[in-house]
Amino acid sequence: MRKLRILAFTFCSIALTQGLVSSSVASEPTSVGSIGIRISQIPADVANHPYSKAYIVSRVYPGVALTQRLEVFNTSSQMFKVSIYPGKATFSHGKFEVADGRTGNSLTSWTKLSPNVLNLKAGDSKFINVTILAPDDAPSIQQFGVIWAEVQGAPNEAGITSISRVGIRMYVPVGDSAAIAIGETNLTSSTNEIIVKKSLVSAYTIEVMLGLIFVAIVLLILFLFILRRGNSDHKFRKENEKLLESQWKRERDRRRKIWKNRGSMNSFRHSRQETDYDEENR
């Protein structure tokens, strides 16, 4: 009976998991707006630069601070907390590549953001100041980085949270270094927006997570079954030990009683022999 209950529970777990996976695949996420970041104020020295409206391209000099204003906007129908931070980027063979997470470099250590966290209501936008101050001993080379705007989506039906980010590229020549020709880079997009959807997690990710949950449930069932089996065996051994101990005590008491009776008979015979001997001597 216990095995039947375990099999029934396992079957229900499989059915529930498959149902959740099917529903997650069937429901396609729909767009509800976007979170974006863009250039709000262009310094005069780069006003004629062809990419000054999309990227930070100003030249900085050691010991001289450069401040530029950006705008972060929310066109979605929900409120978001947006984290702003600088990140590392590299340029190689005409390709601009960004690093994962909050990895930094020299340029990110020179960059300060004010503020670095924004709470944007639906349809709201706010400004941030980006200040770059290279130290007096900064080398005259081209530096690369990204100003990231990062948002964390609300957990979906499976409890999974997605983190997305979008950024403004930084092509910053330092001192007398030659600036690269941005037009030669392999550009991907200049919209700088995150498309916000009701579900930011793919159906495949949900399937993987639910599969892991199902495996964990099966392992838990097997563990409980083995544990209960072990407890039953332990109880059976204890009962056998008590039974054997009880039998051993009864046998011990029986033998003691026999030896006690034999001792009484020997004492009686010995006393009878002494009486007969006294009568003969008389």
- Same domain, yes or no: 103 and 126: yes
Residue 128: domain span:
30-199
DSSP structure class, residue 100: S
Helices (H), the chain: 2-26, 106-110, 203-281
Q: Give the pLDDT band (50/70/90) at residue 279.
A: low
Q: In this structure, are 3 and 142 located in the same domain?
A: no
Q: pTM for the complete prediction?
A: 0.56
* Shared-domain flag, residues 213 and 188: no
150 and 253 part of one domain:
no
Structure tokens at 22: 């099917």
Percent of the chain clearing pLDDT 70 (strictly above): 67
CA distance 56 to 146: 9
- For the chain, give the percent of residues with pLDDT over 90: 30
Quick one: 164 and 61 in the same domain? yes
To the nearest 5 percent, what fractions of the chain are helix, strand and coil? 40, 30, 30
Q: How far apart are CA 272 and CA 260, in angstroms?
A: 19
pLDDT over 50 (residue 198): no
The number of beta carbons lying within 10 Å of the beta carbon of residue 146 is 23
Higher pLDDT, 112 or 24: 112
Overall domain count for the chain: 2
Q: Average pLDDT of 230-242?
A: 72
How far are the Cα atoms of 32, 52, 104, 223 from residue 44, in angstroms, in the given order?
Answer: 37, 10, 28, 70
pLDDT digits (tens, 9 = 90+) for 158-186: 555 567 888 999 999 999 998 887 765 44
Say whether 48 sits in a helix, a strand or coil: coil
Residue pLDDT, tens place only, 28-56: 444 567 888 999 999 998 988 888 888 99
Same domain, 72 and 179: yes
Q: How far apart are CA 249 and CA 264, in angstroms?
A: 22
pLDDT of 268 > 70? The answer is no
